[in-house]
Structures are given as C-alpha cells and as structure tokens.
Chains A and B, each alone.
Chain A
Amino acid sequence: MELFRLEHKKLWRKASVRVCVLLCFAYVVIFGGVLSYQWFEFGSTNDVTSAFGNNFDGPAMIRSYQAQAASYGEYLTDEVLQQMVRDIQADNARGVYWENKSCRSLVNSCLSQLYPELEDPDSAYPILMEYYVDSGGLTGLYARRQAAVEEFLHLQGQGAGEEGAMLLAMNEKVEEPFPMGWTGGWQNLLGGALPDMGMIMALFLAIVLSPTFSGEWHSNTAPLLLTMDRGWRHLALAKVLSGLAFAAELFGLLAVGGVAAQLVYLGTDGWDMPIQTIKLLAVAPMNMLQAEIYEYAFTLLGVIGFAGVVLLLSAQVKSNVLALLLSLAVAYGPMMIAQYLPYGLQKALDLLPLVGSSADIFRTNTFHIFGKYIWSPYLLIIVPVLIGLVCIPFAIMKWSRRQRA
C-alpha cells in the first residue's frame, strides 16, 4: 500500500502529467461542456458560417427550448406531433424561425422516417417536411414506428431468425407513448460529447502512462529498482495500480466536471425520455439517464482496459517514444484502417479498448458468437476491460524479466 501511495504520488508530481490533465479537462469539460452549452452549440445563431459566431446566450436558449417542449404536454402523441407541425407552419408564415436544436429536429425526424410518403419532391426544400405537410395526415405514430423498425431490420438483413426476434423483443420493451421533452441537450451529450470523451482520453492516457515502465529505463533507474527486495513484482503491481488509479481519477475528474456542467446548463429535464426520441429506430429500451450511465460506464471500463494495454506496452519496450507510439497505434490505428477492412474485422477491432463507440446503444449491431446473437453494446462494454485486465499480469511478468535477458 505504501509503495502504491509513493508511486501514485510520483506519477502526479510530474509536470507533464499535470499539463495533460489540465489540457484534457479543458478540452472535455470547458470546451466540450461549459463553452459548448454557453456558446457554440446552444448559443443563438448569429453567424451561420461558424458555430463560433453564435451568441453567448446558451442558457437562455436552452430554457426556451425546454419550455417550448413542456408546453406540448406530458407525452408525444399523434395530437402533439400534429400541433407541433401546425405551430411550426404558423410561425414560419409569420417569419419566426424554429432552430434545429429546438423541437423541430424531433418533428423532422418523425416526419422523414415515419411519413416518407408525405414528402413532396416538388417542394423547394423536400426534406423540410415540417414546413409543408398536412398535419391532419399525421396519425398512427407508434404503429408506423413499429413498421419502420421492422422494415429497417429487414433492409439490414437482420429481420428474420433469431437475430430479428432478439432485436424485436428488445423493441417491444420500449414504453409508449414517449414522455415529451426537449431532446437537443441529450442528443448533444449522448450522441457526441460522451462518445468522444474516450477518444480524447486515449491520447492523454497514452502520454501519461506509456513511460510507466519504459521511463525507468529511460531515466536509468531500472537497474537500481531491480536490486530491491520489492523492485520486481511488488513494484510492478504498484505501478499498474497507480496507472489504473490515474485512469479512473482522470475519468472521475472529467465525469464530475461534465455532469456538473450538464446539471447547471441542462438540469435534469427529460431524464426519463426514451432514447428513441433521439433516434426513432433505436430498439434498446433505455431512457436518457440509463443511456448516460451506460456511456459513462463504457468510457470508464474502456479507459481501464486501455490503461492495461498501455502498461503492457510500456513494460515491453525500453523506449518512451516507442511505448507512446505503440499506445497511440492501439487506440487510433484501428480507426484509421477500419474502412479498408472487411466488416467482420471492423467489428472485431471495435472490441479493443476505446476503439468501439458507446453510441452503439442507438444501433442494432450484433455479434454472432458460438451460434448466439449478442447485441453489440453488451460486448463493447465488457470485452475492452477484460483485454486490459488480461494485459496486467503480463506487464508485471515482463517488468520482472526485462533485465535478465
């Protein structure tokens, strides 16, 4: 325990570690959270050519979007959809513009996916159906959604057999009607900020953790450490634990900052809405809060797994630069080469730590293993951390044997 404490202290004392933590916090929490809510994501549009030209009035805009959604009642029904379309068209006639980040995106999504036959190809902007469809024809919202899900699975080649049955069974558990609320904030969080968090963390974790073992050779301390009673396995274990603790602490710092910013700017409004209000054809029976918990858990387990891999790589080589390059290659290499690989291999690479995406909860991807179909988010959250944990004993053994060759 004392050794772990000292190793942990040594890690945090490095200037490079503190700079990395600061940069990571600034990028994820300040830019991706605070400034995003306040300014370039939810600030009212002032300059359509750049989000940075937005006004600094995010909180006021968010409150107005939330109030607008709340004014339509508790649940999303045919009547609510019709009323929203009527309001959009009336406001449009008066020259009032509904921004994409308001309820308009939900309306547009419902119309384009569930009422495609109402699209007017002769319209100046066919895809902006909310401006011209007859609201009276917008009926049978949930029956149409069910049909659309079945058709989507069919087109994906997932409609029949065990796989289709599994996905449709999941879809049956989605509670209807959907609670009504503003989805823009959740969409930004669950569809962008959280899935990106792991990718950013990978860069900083690689910089901080790749010298854990190789750095002892770089700084010429390894020959000394290896003559100590506890310089072999105890030290390696302490290094591994402090590396994992650092990964968890960095995650904790970002998660606490992110949630705090979320609560301040978005509040808790809409936590019980199903994720289908963001993506209509998702089949997972999850609400926003559950999805957020999943995505944070996905990132935490991913960074733990990634830390394990980086520590193994660090124990394998004596060069800090090589350890860093290998670590970055593990995280970003698969992303770069994925498009050139067969689909099956792409999916296999997704199982590497921080390579797959937590946004798979919005998708219907599955893995077919030993004759069983498994919904991809289950494996994507478990396998990366298992890979990392498997790496740990090898890292410890490698450190212990490194000098004796």
Chain B
Amino acid sequence: MELSIDRLTKHYGKKIAVDCVSATLTPGVYGLLGANGAGKTTLMRMLCAILEPTSGEVRLDGKEIAAMGENYRDVLGYLPQDFGFYPTYTAAEFLSYIATLKGLPRDMAQRRIRELLGTVGLLGAAKKKLRTFSGGMKQRVGIAQALLNDPQVLILDEPTAGLDPKERVHLRNLLADYAGERIVILSTHIVSDVEAIADQVLVMKNGRFLLRGTVPELVRQANGKVWELTVPAAQARAWESRFTVANFRHEGEGDYVVLRIVSDERPAEQAVPCRATMEDLYLYHFGEEA
C-alpha cells in the first residue's frame, strides 16, 4: 500500500496554507510536526478527501482519492482536531452512529464497539451520556470511532490533546501495535509523542515540509547545536532573550541555573555541548514561534 502526495497545494484567498508538498507514504507511523498554523490540519483534511486541493493530488495505490470516493472512505479512519460530539448520545450510541455511517453491519459494529471501548478503557462508561465525559474521555471516544472500520489509512489530528500522561502512553502503545501494515499519520506539536512512536517524521513550516526522516536521522541534524551553560540565576532572563533556551533548572542553593541552549554557535566559552533530542531540533526550527 502506498499513499502518494504529489505537489499538493491549498490556497485560501492569498494565503497559502499548504505549498506544493510531495511525499510517498508506505505502511508505518508518520508524525507530522509543526507549530500552530504550519498547515498540518489543512494537509490532513486534503488527505481525508474532505478538502479539495487548489492543485496537486493524493493517490492511494495509484488511484486519485477524490475519484475513489466511498472506496477511499471505506479504508480511512480520521480523528479531526477539536471535533464535536452529540452530547445526548451515550458513548456506545455515538459509536453505533459512526459505525452506521461507516456502513458496518450491525452485529459486527456492536462487537467492534465493545472491543474498542475496552481498548480505550471506556467499557464501564459505555452507557453514560457524552456530555458527562471529561476532555480526555471524549478524546478516547474519538480515537475509538476512528478505529471502528479497522482502517488501512488512519489520520489523527492532535490525538493526544487533552489526554493525561498515562492515557498518552496508552495511546502511543495502541497506535504502535495497530500500525503494522497500515499507514498511520498523526499530527501533533507534542514532540515527545512523535519521538516515541513515529517511524518517520515530517516537519512542516509555512505550509512546506521543512524536514523529513527517522527520529535518529533528524536528531543527528541537531547534534552540535545544543549546549548546557551554568550561569547566575539573576542572568537567566538575559540569556533567554539572546538564545533559544530549551530548559533551565536550578543548581545548588538556587543561586545558579543550568540553561539548555539551542544555537549554531557556542553561546559562551564555558558552555558544554550535549546530546540533542527531537525537542531541541523542534526548537531549533521553531524557536522564535514557540
């Protein structure tokens, strides 16, 4: 299976949301990383065939997805960002509604709903109205609905938003298990999620793919650009205004702080180089926006 993105572009008036991006996606987990407004959601909507590109096309195994219509939607699972619910439905009813929309036979749907509610840890809340759910619980229902039809192409827009750390880890493991021979694309600006799960990372900025590669490949690009520097606590703000500071922690009695600085140049003589992470790479490219 191959999902190919060919010079995909989307304009909103004069604003260019996605600017001639191309990629070929094969089974695996793809992390789409970028700041707010980078074009991730627009790209995902075009990949779902619910938003018409200004130019370019998306093909699944050589067939244009817009032309595939229902055949594409049959193999697609989608979790939109901040999507709404019907508050008067219970979790089971909502999933039943989505299963019907996906054309699943009733018996199979009921079996699958029980299974997925168990997977996302909501079996006990199946008969509770969605209006009583917390943000994290709603997000888990959203993930369950995306998986209902056992999709070959799974697109998740900010799936970990609203989840607590335990739920995030659970979701990451779930997606890693699920991927197998399927294409899973998840967008996020939570770098650690991408780092933990993605086989390939696509970094978007201003509607374009800025970087792409595996996590180790990308992290290597940031090596030699990350430094640790110990300075008096009173000077910390001054350093922060001059450099991109990924982190700072107090040292000793609190008179000194250790700054983690992302910079092409050694920020000071006493700064020591250290091992880069995906977060450092992200800050290297989006430091001014972050």
CA separation between A14 and B89, bound complex, in Å?
10
Do B88 and A2 touch (CB < 8 A)?
A: no
Interface string of A227-248 (1 = CB under 8 A from B): 1111100110000000000000
CA distance A402 to B100 in the complex (A): 21
Interface check B80, CB cutoff 8 A: yes
Chain A contacts of B79 at CB under 8 A?
Answer: 224
Q: Judge whether A219 is part of the interface by a CB distance below 8 angstroms.
A: yes
* Closest Cβ neighbor of B52 among chain A residues: A404
Give the total of B residues in contact with A, Cβ under 8 Å.
31
- Check: A3 CB closer than 8 A to any chain B CB: yes
Q: Given A227-B50, A229-B73, verify A10-B86 contact (CB < 8 Å).
A: yes
Chain B nearest CB, measured from A85 CB (Å): 63
A13 within 8 A of B: yes
- A393 and B106 CA atoms in complex are apart in Å by 28
A325 at the interface (CB under 8 A from B): no
- Selected contact of A3 from candidates B74, B76, B101, CB within 8 Å: B101
| In the complex, per-residue mask of A198-219: 1 if CB is within 8 Å of any chain B CB, else 0 | 0000000000000000000001
Tell me how far the C-beta of B118 lies from the nearest C-beta in chain A, rounded to whole angstroms.
22
Contact of B83 among A6, A224, A404 (CB under 8 A): A224
Interface residues of A, dominant DSSP? helix
How many residues from A make CB contacts under 8 Å with B? 25
Alpha-carbon distance between A14 and B76 when the two chains are bound, in angstroms: 30
**Which B residues lie within 8 Å of A227 (CB)?**
48-50, 73, 76, 78
A221 adjacent to chain B (CB < 8 Å):
yes
User: Does A116 interact with chain B (Cβ within 8 Å)?
Assistant: no
A241 to B25, CA, bound (A): 41
A93 at the interface (CB under 8 A from B): no
Q: Which residues of B contact A231 (CB under 8 A)?
A: 73, 101
B89 touches A235 (CB 8 A): no
Contact A224 B74, beta carbon cutoff 8 Å: no
Task: Decide if B285 is an interface residue (CB 8 Å cutoff).
Answer: no
B101 A229 Cβ-Cβ under 8 A: yes
Instruction: Please determine whether A223 and B45 come into contact, CB atoms closer than 8 angstroms.
Output: yes
Q: Mark B97-119, 1 if CB is under 8 A from A, else 0.
A: 11011110010000000000000
A sample of 17 inter-chain contacts (CB < 8 A) reads A2-B100, A6-B93, A6-B97, A6-B100, A9-B93, A10-B86, A14-B88, A219-B86, A223-B78, A223-B83, A224-B145, A227-B73, A230-B100, A231-B73, A231-B101, A403-B50, A404-B51
Interface residues of A (CB under 8 A from B): 2-3, 6, 9-10, 13-15, 219-221, 223-231, 234-235, 403-405
Q: Which B residues have a C-beta under 8 Å from some C-beta of A?
A: 45, 48-52, 70, 73-74, 76, 78-80, 82-86, 88-89, 93, 96-98, 100-103, 106, 145, 149
